[in-house]
Amino acid sequence: MRKRRLIAAVAVAAAASLLAACGGGSGSPDGPITFVSTGGDFQDAQIKAWQQPFTAANGTQFVNTGPPDQAKLKTMVESGTSDWDVLDQDPSFANLYGPKYLEKIDFNIVDKSVYPPNTVSEYGVPAYFYGTFMLYNTNAYANNPPTSVKDFFDLQRFPGKRIVPAIRNMNVTNVLEFALLADGVPPDKLYPIDVDRALKKLDTIKPQLTFATNYGQIQQAMDGQQASMVLSLTARAALAIKNRAPYKVIWEHAFVNWDDLVVVKGTPRKEAAMKFIQFVSQPAQQQAFSTSATMFPGNPKVSVKYPDPSQEAVNVFAPEHKAGLIYTNVDWWAKNLDDVVAKTTAWSIG
C-alpha cells in the first residue's frame, strides 16, 4: 500500500513538472497571459493590435476573457484562486483598490515618461484615451446651432430631449462636471465636485433628460434621431456619425478619460505582464489599436491619422480642440464615487 502511494505521489509530481515545463496551468510563469477586457469588436481590436504582434515577437500566448468584474476580481485575489493576469480597467479602481488587489507597475520595465502627467499611478498606466463630449442634432437646430455647454442646459432657446449616461459604480461619465461648467464653474475649479450644485443645474433640464443605461443606448438614440442633444463617448459618436446620424460636437469643452492596464496581484506571470504593457505603449501598437477602435493613444506622443472622416469628426486631440480639453480627476472620483452614485440615484428617482 505504501509503495502504491509512493508511486502515485511521484506520478502526480511528474505530471505537475511536465505541465509547468509546457507553460500550462494558472501557476506557471511561462503560461499564457489571461487578458480581461470588454469583449466584442473592441477586444478583437486589442487582440490584433497588441497581442498578436507580442506573441509573434516572443512567443507568449494569450487567453481572452471578460468583462472586467471588480467583485469577481476581489473574490479571486482574496481566495488565492485568480487566473486573471492583465485587465483593461477604469483607473479609479487602480487608485482606490490597487494596494490590495493589484501588483505595482514595474517602472524598470514600463516607461512611465511616455504618459501624460497625472495619469499614471503606482498600479496602472493608460492603455488608451477617449473623449466625453456633447453633440447636437443638426436637423433640430439647423438655423441656430448651439455652441457652448450652457446651450445644452438651455431648454428655452434649444428645446428638445437630452440623453446622457447614468452615473454608476466604477463608471465616470462627466455629467456632473458638464453641469457645473454650464453653471459657471471654471474648468480648473471643478474638483472637488459640488454635487448638490451640479444636481440643481441638472434640475433645469430634468423634464427632458433621460439617463441611458449604457453607451449603446445613446448611439441608438443618435442613429434614430431620438434626442436633440446627447452626451457620448468617442467611439459611439463616431459609429453613429458613420451611420449618417446628423450630429456634431459642441467643442467648447471635452473631457479626456482613459482606461488603465493593470496586473492582478499574485500572478506568477507578473514579469511577462509588465513586458506586455510596455509593448502596448509602443507606436506601432498604439496606432493600430487607435485607428481600429477610434480611441486615442495612451502614449500621446504617437500621432494617429484616422482612416474614416467619422473618426476625425470626434477627434478631441485635434490641434484646434486641445485648448478646451479637461482631464478627469480620477483620484477624486475614486474616493467619492460611491457617495456620488447614492446621491445622484436618489435625485434621479425623486
Asked if residue 349 has pLDDT above 90, the reply is no
Closest-CA residue to 294 (of 318, 277, 276, 314):
314
Start-to-end Cα distance in the chain: 72
Residues 32 and 179 reside in one and the same domain: no
Residues 100 and 207 reside in one and the same domain: no
* Domain assignment of residue 206, yes or no: yes
> At 129, is the pLDDT very low, low, confident or very high (cuts 50, 70, 90)?
very high
Asked if residue 35 has pLDDT above 60, the reply is yes
> At 337, is the pLDDT very low, low, confident or very high (cuts 50, 70, 90)?
confident
pLDDT the model gives residue 213: 84
Closest-CA residue to 183 (of 173, 197, 170, 172):
197
How far is it, in rounded angstroms, from Cα 208 to Cα 181?
A: 19
Taking residues 65-92, what's their average pLDDT? 92
Q: pTM to 2 decimals?
A: 0.84
pLDDT-above-90 percentage for the chain: 75
Q: Which three three-digit cell numbers place residue 333?
A: 472620483
Whether the Cβ atoms of residue 67 and residue 46 lie closer than 8 Å to each other: no
How far is it, in rounded angstroms, from Cα 46 to Cα 16?
A: 32
* Domain assignment of residue 306, yes or no: no
pLDDT the model gives residue 169: 58
Residues 204 and 326 reside in one and the same domain: yes
pLDDT the model gives residue 114: 94
Give the lowest-confidence range in 7-16, 94-103, 305-314. 7-16
pLDDT-above-70 percentage for the chain: 91
Taking residues 322-339, what's their average pLDDT? 91
SS3 assignment for the chain:
CHHHHHHHHHHHHHHHHHHHHCCCCCCCCCCCEEEECCCHHHHHHHHHHHHHHHHHHHCCCEEEECCCCHHHHHHHHHHCCCCCCEEEECHHHHHHHHHHHECCCCCCCCCHHHCCCCCCECCEEEEEEEEEEEEEECCCCCCCCCCCHHHHCCCCCCCCCEEEECCECCECCCHHHHHHHHCCCCHHHCCCCCHHHHHHHHHCCHHHEEEECCHHHHHHHHHCCCCCEEEEEHHHHHHHHHCCCCEEEEEEEEEEEEEEEEEECCCCCHHHHHHHHHHHCCHHHHHHHHHHHCCEECCCCCCCCCCCHHHHCCCCCCHHHHHHEEECCHHHHHHHHHHHHHHHHHHHHC
Closest-CA residue to 329 (of 260, 259, 253, 256):
256
* Domain assignment of residue 30, yes or no: yes
Residues 194 and 220 reside in one and the same domain: yes
* Domain assignment of residue 307, yes or no: no
pLDDT the model gives residue 171: 63
Give the lowest-confidence range in 14-23, 93-102, 277-286. 14-23
Residues 124 and 212 reside in one and the same domain: no
pLDDT digit string, tens, across residues 270-311: 999 999 999 999 999 999 999 999 999 998 889 898 999 999
Residues 156 and 24 reside in one and the same domain: no
* Domain assignment of residue 216, yes or no: yes
Task: Read off the amino acid at residue 123.
Answer: Y
pLDDT digit string, tens, across residues 137-185: 999 998 899 999 999 999 999 999 999 998 775 567 899 999 999 999 9
Asked if residue 88 has pLDDT above 90, the reply is yes
Residues 119 and 186 reside in one and the same domain: no
> At 215, is the pLDDT very low, low, confident or very high (cuts 50, 70, 90)?
confident
Listed as own residue / partner, the contacts of 19-25 with beta carbons closer than 8 Å and 24 or more positions apart are 23/61
Residues 226 and 241 reside in one and the same domain: yes
Split into its structural domains, the chain has a count of 2
Taking residues 203-217, what's their average pLDDT? 92
Task: Read off the amino acid at residue 207.
Answer: P
* Domain assignment of residue 304, yes or no: no
* Domain assignment of residue 36, yes or no: yes
Asked if residue 17 has pLDDT above 70, the reply is no
Chain position carrying cell 473631457: 255
Residues 340 and 224 reside in one and the same domain: yes
User: Which residues, other chains included, contact 131 with Cβ-Cβ below 8 Å and sequence gap of 6+?
Assistant: 233, 234, 254, 255, 256, 257, 296, 314, 316
Q: Which three three-digit cell numbers place residue 64?
A: 481572452
Residues 234 and 174 reside in one and the same domain: yes
> At 96, is the pLDDT very low, low, confident or very high (cuts 50, 70, 90)?
confident
Parent domain of 55: 2-128+259-297
* Domain assignment of residue 303, yes or no: no
Residues 264 and 280 reside in one and the same domain: yes
Residues 210 and 334 reside in one and the same domain: yes
pLDDT the model gives residue 79: 94
> At 40, is the pLDDT very low, low, confident or very high (cuts 50, 70, 90)?
confident
Q: What is the mean pLDDT of the chain?
A: 89
| 103-138: b (≥16 Cβ within 10 Å) or e | bebeeeebeeebbeeebbbebbbbbbbbbbbbbbbe
CATH code of the domain containing 226: 3.40.190.10
